[in-house]
Amino acid sequence: MLAQGLSHIIFNASNKEDFERTLIFYKSLGFKSITDSPEEDTRVAWLKLASTVSIKVILTASAIPQRKPAGDTDWSLEEHALAFSINNIDAVKSKLKELDAPDQDHSDKNSTKLYVLDPLNNIILLTNKPAILKATSAAAAVETATASGKRQKIAVLTSGGDAPGMNAVVRAVVRYGITKGCDIFAVYEGYQGLVDGGDLLKKMDWKSVRGWLAVGGTTIGTARCMPFKTREGRLKAAENLVLNGIDALIVCGGDGSLTGADLFRNEWGGLVDELLKTKRISQEQANAYHVLTIVGLVGSIDNDMSSTDITIGAVTSLHRICESVDAVSTTALSHSRAFVIEVMGRHCGWLALMAGIATGADFVFIPEKPPKEEDWESLMCSVVERHRHLGKRKTVVIVAEGAIDKNLNPIKADYLKDILTDRLGLDTRVTILGHTQRGGAPAFFDRLLATTQGLEAVDAVLEATADTPSPMIGMTDNKITRFPLMKAVALTHEVAEAISKKNFARAMELRDPQFAEEYEAYHATTILDDCSLGLPAHQQLRIAIIHMGAPAGGMNAATRTAVRYCLNRGHTPIAVNNGFAGLARGSMSEMTWMGVDGWTALGGSELGTNRAVPGEDIDMGMVTYQIQKNNIQALMIVGGFEAFVAIEKLEASRDQYPSLRIPITLIPATISNNVPGTDYSLGSDTSLNAIVNSCDAIVQSAQSSRRRVFVVEVMGGRSGYLAVEGGLVVGANTVYIPEEGINLGRLQSDVEHLRAMYTDDDPDKSEGRIILRTEDVSKTYTTEVISDILKEEGDEMFDSRTAVLGHIQQGVTPSPLDRIRATRLATRSIQFFEEHTAEALDKAHESGSPVPIELTNSKASVTVAGISGSAAIFTPVTDLLPITDMKNRKPRNAWWAEHRPIIDMLAGRGHFKIEK
Ligand code: ADP
């Protein structure tokens, strides 16, 4: 007998009589009780049929009884039936007669097809023909794993240094793998688990990975495994895989682990031959497992892998570093101290450089780009001294653990401390951050990266052929990619090699392009902030900076960098207070280097922000008058959708007002991420981290008290970005977003899904669940109404509560990614102003004319400064209008829409079902 394509089925009985009759029914079909104990659980029973399918029958008062199909309808036309292919059908028939089970015979001359009702009113098809499978039921949404119908067995392991997000990888692989009809095994303790086998190889089910998204490190363990570095160890690993029937391996680890994986795959054929020759496996096994599919995922806090822009864990680590540097900064400031902070990175300076940018450090040392100067000590001292003379009371120097000078001599934290103490007389302390950098709950970005890459890894396994080179899952230009593992490993090793040969240009080339750009920007704004990059006087501009809309993390960081870079180039940065309302009143002042000190880490808006749009709420004439009166020659706006409307109005008013013929950029800053022309707006990452932290706390509370579903309201206006991205990384049950709306049918199906999940839960456990709802999704189905409906429908089974996150979502301290994006877009905006004014200014200068009011009237000079993939791009507002939904205040297409279906899939939609 065989229930094709299924591994287990769950039935819910609403009363004891049905529960017992169901057990008798299935036992008559040949199912055997799994627990032979005389004191069998009287509420949950597991039955198994041979080695194939098992049935779980649960007695639960709140189960929804199944409708009995009418006897006079054709059961073969019913949508849901469970099919068993069976050899001795007559013997089973007579047993069913004894039970008096209703049936319909649809046999024809080719096959027997008997439809029977089980005591719970499920339609069961008994047939002697294996090919007949029309059934869908309970777990039948499961697709068969391979075309041949053989269930693919995939093992997943985490290896090398642990990285936050590894658990999210395992969760995604397990759940998506199960959805795809695969058996998923977790290998505990990294490669050691493969070598030792036994209990270290565990079959995972849907619930094994509950709650793993929020947990740092790796729950299945990792280890440095020396035996795997030997052929004997790998032979043992191969034997364990074959004996357990596993034909695919997903490895999440750093370059060492992936080097091992690559070697293992290359040797596989030889290992299997040897196992056969030494009779450790049979000929059939050797035939069946002659190919091993391996897929690599990069879990590494250092971001040291080539061929991917970012690795799993790096962003969380950067969070920990920035938190530490921010904390140390306050004590440094109090005592006027210097701190040398050592961060991880043996061959890679990503963490050190990004931390330097995000915290506004005075100097950074990284392995791939040693100081050019022989006497770098004096350079560092002159930079620090200059910053001190400008008024700084604190000094922060960040050094990667693998930092070197250009002669490959290590640059160590203690040595730096001695120099700062001896030469500058600074009270200097060393802080080595060490393992704190690995710890803690994964940040939003890592949860998202790990989840989407985990899904891609499973797809890569299922699509692999014997000839496919093992892929490494990466991310380039904000897109999940597959890259040959072998090549990625080779390129990564080349970085270390290039450094050892002092070929630093090659080492930088092998990093992602953004890394070099960020390094240059940091150098230009911090090391060379001695006005050595100053422009000729006639090209120096008066640049106004204005904040608009609601506060968003990164607004201050963008302003700080713009001010510092302006001063370095000889421009005059002018702060406008309180948005366009302030501009119309002429509320503005020149900014100074010290005036923006410490702003990278400040949330909110130091300039003051306002939603008033010129031409709508504010008189355009007053705005242009003030621009002309204060001789503003370029305008940098940091703001959200109102600011997008504002630049559109400014562009449209240029015909009328010559003083608007200046370059204008908008750096998108809004937690809703609804400004066209960018993948990310400043503040959205900070906000998602705030949402993640709040939701983790809410789920914990829900779990601790009783079975409770929280409906959490998030911001976003008419855009579902926060709900979708937040929902995906907190493991929400579902999300309600404006793009989809809500209706009764949807609510009903969500209630059913929740009931199915709570029915399947361990009765003695209280599981907390969470649903995210965008504030503007519906006027009728408010957060309260939805929660009340859930409460009512949950009856005894579960309760519901609401949580409105409100302004908590703006976050306190901007996240590192928002700070880095802010810094980048601000520097690029100032450069953009220079490019768009040089021609007019040079012309006037050459002809000896006065500086004109009109510097540019090109449409390309009023733009949104955005991030597209890994590039910073400037798109004219006139080009963005056709792709903008002005009514709903967002771009017409959203790149993140593809994440929406993943939420329901990973929440078990299709896996947990109560059929009616
Ligand atoms: P990471 O993956 O974080 O770089 P390691 O370099 O310590 O960490 O590697 C983790 C594990 O991967 C090692 O303990 C070993 O089991 C395996 N491994 C690393 N390099 C190799 C190799 N060259 N050959 C075989 N296995 C290796």
Between CA 471 and CA 302 the distance in angstroms is: 21
Instruction: Give percent of the chain with pLDDT exceeding 70.
Output: 94
* 419 alpha carbon – ligand 1 mean position (Å): 37
For ligand 1, pick from 218, 257, 317, 489 the residue to mutate: most ligand atoms within 8 Å of CB.
Answer: 257
Same domain, 220 and 238: yes
User: Bigger pLDDT: 747 or 100?
Assistant: 747
Please indicate, yes or no, whether residues 558 and 673 belong to a single structural domain of this protein.
yes
| Backbone angles phi and psi of 634, in degrees to 5 | -160, 150
Amino acid sitting at position 217: G
Domain that holds residue 117: 2-143
Is residue 493 in contact with ligand 1, taking CB distance under 6 Å? no
Q: Is the separation of the CB atoms in 874 and 832 below 8 Å?
A: yes
Average pLDDT over residues 352-356: 97
Summarize pLDDT for 726-759 with one digit per residue, the tens: 999 999 999 999 999 999 999 999 999 999 999 8
812, 835, 859: which is the final residue of a domain?
Answer: 812
Q: What's the 434 CA to ligand 1 centre distance in angstroms?
A: 20
What's the gap in Å between 187 CA and the centre of ligand 1? 16
Binding residues: 161, 224-225, 254-257, 300-302, 337, 344-346, 401, 429, 435-438, 611, 670-674, 708, 715-717, 775, 801, 807-810, 889
Per the annotation, binding residues for beta-D-fructose 2,6-bisphosphate are 611, 670-674, 708, 715-717, 775, 801, 807-810, 889
Stated length of the chain: 916
> What per-residue confidence (pLDDT) applies to 3?
45
159 lines ligand 1 (CB under 6 A): yes
* pLDDT for 90: 79
Residues 594 and 404: their CA atoms lie apart, in Å, by 31
pLDDT at 4 over 60: no
Q: Given 456, 475, 492, which residue is the final one in a domain? A: 492
Residue 260 CB–ligand 1 contact under 6 Å: yes
Residues belonging to the active site: 302
Same domain? For 44 and 110 the reply is: yes
Same domain, 180 and 62: no
| CB distance 130 to ligand 1 below 6 Å | no
Determine the atom of ligand 1 nearest the C-alpha atom of 228. Answer: 16
In a domain, 526, yes or no: no
Q: What is the pLDDT of residue 150?
A: 57
The residue ranking higher by pLDDT, 860 or 104, is 860
Ligand 1 contact via 440 beta carbon (within 6 Å): no
Comparing 13 with 256, which gets the higher pLDDT?
A: 256
Are 404 and 472 members of one domain? no
User: Does the pLDDT at position 683 exceed 50?
Assistant: yes
The whole-angstrom separation of Cα 796 and Cα 764 is 14
- Tell whether ligand 1 has an atom less than 6 A from the beta carbon of residue 257: yes
- Pocket residue to mutate for ligand 1, from 159, 251, 485, most atoms within 8 A of Cβ: 159
Q: Is the pLDDT of residue 914 over 70?
A: no
Rg (CA), the chain: 32
Position 52 scores a pLDDT of 58
Q: What is the pTM of this model?
A: 0.84
Give the SS3 label for residue 252.
strand
The reported pLDDT for the residue numbered 169 is 98
The C-alpha atoms of residue 876 and residue 863 are separated, in whole angstroms, by 4
Q: In the predicted model, is pLDDT for residue 116 greater than 80? A: yes
pLDDT, one tens digit per residue, over 432-469 is 999 999 988 999 999 999 999 999 999 999 999 888 89
Chain segment 197-224, per-residue pLDDT in tens: 999 999 999 999 999 999 999 999 999 9
Please name the residue whose Cα sits nearest to atom 7 of ligand 1. Answer: 160
Residues 420 and 473 in one domain: no
pLDDT tens, residue by residue, 117-154: 888 888 888 877 654 433 333 333 333 334 344 579 99
On the question of pLDDT at 50 being above 70, the answer is no
Rounded to the nearest angstrom, the distance between the alpha carbon of 192 and the centre of ligand 1 is 11
Q: How far is the CA of 226 from the centre of ligand 1 (A)?
A: 8
DSSP letter string, 472-522: EEEEETTEEEEEEHHHHHHHHHHHHHHHHTT-HHHHHHTS-HHHHHHHHHH
> How many alpha carbons fall within 13 Å on the CB side of residue 579?
20
Has residue 412 been placed in a domain? yes
Residue with tokens 């939003």: 444
Determine the Cα–Cα distance for residues 286 and 280; give it in Å rounded to an integer.
Answer: 10
From atom 14 of ligand 1, which residue's Cα is the shortest distance away? 224
Confidence band, pLDDT 50/70/90 cuts, at residue 1: very low
* Pocket lining: 228 vs ligand 1, CB cutoff 6 Å: yes
If you measure from the C-alpha of residue 152 to the centroid of ligand 1, how many angstroms do you get, rounded to a whole number? 26
180-191: average pLDDT: 97
pLDDT (mean) for 610-615: 96
Q: Name 585's Cβ contacts closer than 8 Å, sequence gap at least 6.
A: 626
Better-predicted residue by pLDDT, 82 or 464: 464
Residue in 229, 271, 435 to alter for ligand 1 test, most ligand atoms within 8 A of Cβ:
229
916 domain residue, yes or no: no
Q: Based on the structure, what is the number of domains in the chain?
A: 5
Nearest CA to ligand 1 atom 22: 260
Regarding whether 357 and 394 lie in a shared domain, the answer is yes
What's the pLDDT at 485? 95
The strand pairing partners of 116, in sequence order, are 103, 124
Q: How far is the CA of 262 from the centre of ligand 1 (A)?
A: 11
Give me the mean pLDDT over the 67-82 stretch.
73
Percent of the chain with pLDDT over 90: 75
Domain of 82, CATH number, reads 3.10.180.10
Q: What confidence score (pLDDT) does residue 134 get?
A: 34
Residues of each annotated binding site for Mg(2+): 255
Q: Which atom of ligand 1 is nearest to the CA of 223?
A: 14
Pocket test for ligand 1, best of 218, 226, 228 (most atoms within 8 A of CB): 228
CA 217/CA 165 separation, integer angstroms: 7
Tens of pLDDT, residues 613-634: 999 999 999 999 999 999 999 9
pLDDT tens-digit series, residues 378-409: 999 999 999 999 999 999 999 999 999 999 99
How do residues 541-583 score in pLDDT, each as one tens digit? 999 999 999 999 999 999 999 999 999 999 999 999 999 999 9
* Ligand 1 near 256 CB (within 6 A): yes
CA of 161 to the centre of ligand 1 (A): 9
| Residue 477 · residue 870 · CB < 8 Å | yes
Instruction: Kindly state whether residue 890 falls inside one of the protein's structural domains.
Output: no
Q: Residue 418 belongs to a domain with what CATH number?
A: 3.40.50.460
For the Cβ of 191 lying below 6 angstroms from any atom of ligand 1, the answer is: yes
Mean model confidence pLDDT for the chain: 91
Three-state secondary structure readout of 685-750: HHHHHHHHHHHHHHHHHHHHHCCEEEEEEECCCCCCHHHHHHHHHHCCCEEECCCCCCCHHHHHHH
360 in the Ramachandran plot: left (φ > 0), alpha (ψ -120 to 50) or beta?
A: left
Specify if 511 maps to a domain: no
| 630, burial (CB in 10 Å: exposed 0-12, middle 13-18, buried 19+) | middle
User: How crowded is residue 622: how many other Cβ atoms within 10 Å of its Cβ?
Assistant: 16
> Does residue 302 sit in the same domain as residue 163?
yes
Question: Is residue 912 included in any domain, yes or no?
Answer: no
On whether both 162 and 292 belong to a single domain, the answer is yes
Closest alpha carbon to 462 in 187, 675, 147: 147
Q: Is the pLDDT of residue 913 over 90?
A: no
Residue 892 lies in a domain: no
Say whether both 218 and 107 belong to one domain: no
Looking at the CA of residue 224, tell me the nearest atom of ligand 1: 14
* CATH at residue 664: 3.40.50.450
Q: Please give the annotated binding residues for ATP, written as ranges.
A: 161, 224-225, 254-257
Residue 73 has pLDDT above 90, yes or no: no
Q: Are residues 333 and 398 in the same domain?
A: yes
Residue 260 Cα to ligand 1 midpoint, Å, equals 6
| Residue pLDDT, tens place only, 307-320 | 999 999 999 999 99
Beta strands in 777-846 (DSSP E): 799-804
- Ligand 1 atom nearest residue 254's Cα: 2
In a domain, 472, yes or no: yes
Q: Are residues 612 and 544 in the same domain?
A: yes
Determine the Cα–Cα distance for residues 265 and 288; give it in Å rounded to an integer: 16
767, 707 in Cβ contact below 8 A? yes
Last residue of a domain, one of 459, 492, 525: 492
Report pLDDT for 62: 62
Q: How confident is the model at residue 57 (pLDDT cuts 50, 70, 90)?
A: confident
